[in-house]
C-alpha cells in the first residue's frame, strides 16, 4: 500500500512538471516561429496580427481578430489539425475543422451565416463603389458552394445555415445599376454532373462552364456550346483543400478537366509586378504540385491582364476570388481585354485603374463562403 502511494505521488509530480514544461515549450515555439501568410495545406490566406485600434477594442472586433490570428499562427498547426481529425473520425464524428464527410465521398465545407453588421458593410461598400463609376456596366455573380447545391449529401441533421437565403439577400440589397447573375438554378439542375470537386472547395470546370452559359444571358454575349471545346482530362489524382483541411483520409481523388476551344484563340497574359508574361491560360507545371487547381492561371495574383484576339474589343474587369480562375478561359472569346483583380493582394486605387484603362464592364465574381467571410472587399474603396 505504501509503495502504491509513493508511486502515485511520483506520477503526480511528473505530470505536474511535464504540463508546465509542455506549455512553456509551446509558448517558446509560438514566439520564435515566423507568421505564415498562406497555408498550402488549407489553401487559404492566414490571419495576420491585427493593428490595435481603440474603437475596434471597444466593439470587440480586435479581440475576435486576435483570437483568429492566434488560431491561424499556432505552432505546428497543420500537425494538430491532422491529430484532431483522426481522433474525431475514430469517435464517429461526421465533421472536422468545418468540413463534413458527406455521401458518395464528398467533403462539404460548412457555411456559417455572416454577422449582420459585416453583411451590411460589404453591401454598402459595393453599392458606394458602383455609384462612383456610373459609365461602367456592372454585374455581380455570387456562386453557391457545394454545401448548398449538394446539401442532400450532408450527414443527417448537419447544422448548416441556409446559404441560398443570404445569396438572395445580396441580390435584393444591391443597387439597381448592378445586374445580378443568378447561377443557382443552373448549378442545381446539373448537380449530378460532377459540378464540384469532392475533395476541394472549388467548382469543377464543368460547373464553371454551366455558369458561363448563364452569364451570357445577362452580359449580352452568345456563349459557346460544349461541343465547341475539346475536353481534356489532365489528372485523376487531385486531392484538394478540403481533403487537407479536414484530415479525412481513404477518399478517392478528383479529376481535373480543361475545356480547350476548337477555334484558334490567342492570348497574352501579363502578371503585374512580375516579368513573366505567358501565352497560356494554364500553368501546366503545377499539375505536379499539391494544389493542382493552380494550373488555372497559376493561382491567385493581385492583378492579371489577358489580351485576346476576340472580335469584341470591349474590356472586362473582374473583381474576384479563386472561383474566377477556371471560368475566365470561357470568357476570352468574348472580350478583347480581361483584367482580374484579387482584393486580398491588390493595393492600388481601383477607381483610377478603371478610368485609366477605359474599362467597359465590371464583374464581381465570388463564391458564397469567401464573400461572406473575407473582409478584403473593403479594399475596393
Residues 193 and 207 in one domain: yes
Collect contacts of 116-121 with beta carbons under 8 A, ≥24 apart: 118/372, 118/375, 119/166, 119/169, 119/372, 121/378
Residues 9 and 124 in one domain: no
- Evaluate if residue 86 carries a pLDDT over 60: no
**pLDDT > 70 fraction of the chain, expressed in percent and rounded:** 77
In a domain, 92, yes or no: no
Residues 156 and 202 in one domain: yes
- Evaluate if residue 28 carries a pLDDT over 70: no
In a domain, 88, yes or no: no
Residues 149 and 71 in one domain: no
Residues 6 and 52 in one domain: no
Q: How far apart are CA 179 and CA 137, in angstroms?
A: 8
Residues 194 and 169 in one domain: yes
Structural domain boundaries enclosing 175? 100-380
In a domain, 288, yes or no: yes
Q: What is the DSSP string of 75-94?
A: TTHHHHHHHHHHHHHHTT-S
Q: Considering its fold, how many domains does the chain have in total?
A: 3
What pLDDT was estimated at residue 4?
45
In a domain, 306, yes or no: yes
Q: Count the neighbouring beta carbons within 10 Å of the beta carbon of residue 340.
A: 25
Residues 37 and 7 in one domain: no
Residues 205 and 227 in one domain: yes
Give pLDDT tens digits for 311-323.
999 999 999 999 9
Nearest to 353 by CA among 371, 341, 364, 335: 341
Residues 18 and 137 in one domain: no
Q: How far apart are CA 199 and CA 212, in angstroms?
A: 23
What pLDDT was estimated at residue 23?
61
In a domain, 262, yes or no: yes
Q: How far apart are CA 249 and CA 312, in angstroms?
A: 47
In a domain, 93, yes or no: no
Residues 277 and 330 in one domain: yes
Give pLDDT tens digits for 320-337.
999 999 999 999 999 999
Q: How far apart are CA 209 and CA 231, in angstroms?
A: 11
Residues 332 and 219 in one domain: yes
Give pLDDT tens digits for 65-77.
666 666 666 565 6
In a domain, 176, yes or no: yes
Give pLDDT tens digits for 249-286.
889 999 999 999 999 899 999 998 777 889 999 999 99
Give pLDDT tens digits for 54-66.
766 666 666 766 6
In a domain, 217, yes or no: yes
Residues 47 and 18 in one domain: no
Amino acid at each position: 500500500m505504501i509503495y502504491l502511494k509513493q508511486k502515485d505521488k511520483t506520477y503526480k509530480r511528473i505530470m505536474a512538471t511535464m504540463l508546465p514544461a509542455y506549455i512553456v515549450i509551446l509558448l517558446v515555439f509560438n514566439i520564435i516561429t515566423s507568421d505564415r501568410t498562406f497555408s498550402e495545406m488549407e489553401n487559404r490566406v492566414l490571419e495576420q496580427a491585427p493593428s490595435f485600434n481603440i474603437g475596434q477594442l471597444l466593439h470587440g472586433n480586435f479581440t475576435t481578430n486576435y483570437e483568429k490570428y492566434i488560431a491561424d499562427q499556432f505552432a505546428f498547426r497543420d500537425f494538430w489539425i491532422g491529430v484532431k481529425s483522426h481522433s474525431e473520425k475514430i469517435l464517429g464524428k461526421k465533421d472536422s475543422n468545418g468540413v463534413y464527410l458527406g455521401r458518395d465521398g464528398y467533403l462539404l465545407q460548412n457555411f456559417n451565416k455572416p454577422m449582420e453588421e459585416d453583411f451590411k458593410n460589404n453591401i454598402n461598400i459595393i453599392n458606394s463603389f458602383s455609384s462612383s463609376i456610373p459609365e461602367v456596366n456592372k454585374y455581380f455573380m455570387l456562386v453557391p458552394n457545394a454545401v448548398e447545391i449538394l446539401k442532400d449529401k450532408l450527414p443527417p441533421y448537419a447544422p448548416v445555415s441556409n446559404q441560398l437565403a443570404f445569396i438572395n439577400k445580396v441580390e435584393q440589397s444591391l443597387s439597381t445599376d448592378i445586374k445580378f447573375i443568378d447561377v443557382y438554378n443552373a448549378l442545381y439542375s446539373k448537380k449530378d454532373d460532377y459540378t464540384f470537386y469532392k475533395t476541394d472547395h472549388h467548382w469543377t470546370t464543368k460547373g464553371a462552364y454551366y455558369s458561363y452559359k448563364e452569364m451570357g444571358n445577362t452580359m449580352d454575349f452568345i456563349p459557346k456550346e460544349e461541343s465547341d471545346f475539346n475536353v481534356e482530362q489532365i489528372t485523376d489524382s487531385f486531392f484538394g483543400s478540403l481533403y487537407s483541411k479536414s484530415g479525412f483520409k481513404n477518399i478517392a481523388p478528383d479529376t481535373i478537366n480543361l475545356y480547350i476551344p476548337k477555334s484558334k484563340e490567342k492570348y497574352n497574359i501579363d502578371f503585374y509586378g512580375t516579368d513573366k508574361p505567358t501565352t497560356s491560360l494554364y500553368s501546366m507545371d503545377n499539375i505536379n504540385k499539391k494544389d493542382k487547381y493552380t494550373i488555372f492561371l497559376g493561382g491567385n495574383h493581385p492583378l492579371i491582364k489577358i489580351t485576346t484576339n476576340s472580335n469584341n474589343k470591349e474590356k472586362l474587369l473582374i473583381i474576384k476570388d479563386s472561383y474566377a480562375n477556371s471560368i475566365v478561359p470561357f470568357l476570352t472569346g468574348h472580350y478583347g481585354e480581361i483584367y482580374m483583380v484579387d482584393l486580398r493582394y491588390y493595393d492600388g486605387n481601383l477607381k483610377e485603374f478603371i478610368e485609366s484603362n477605359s474599362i467597359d464592364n465590371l464583374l464581381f465574381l465570388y463564391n458564397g463562403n469567401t464573400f461572406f467571410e473575407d473582409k478584403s472587399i473593403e479594399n475596393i474603396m
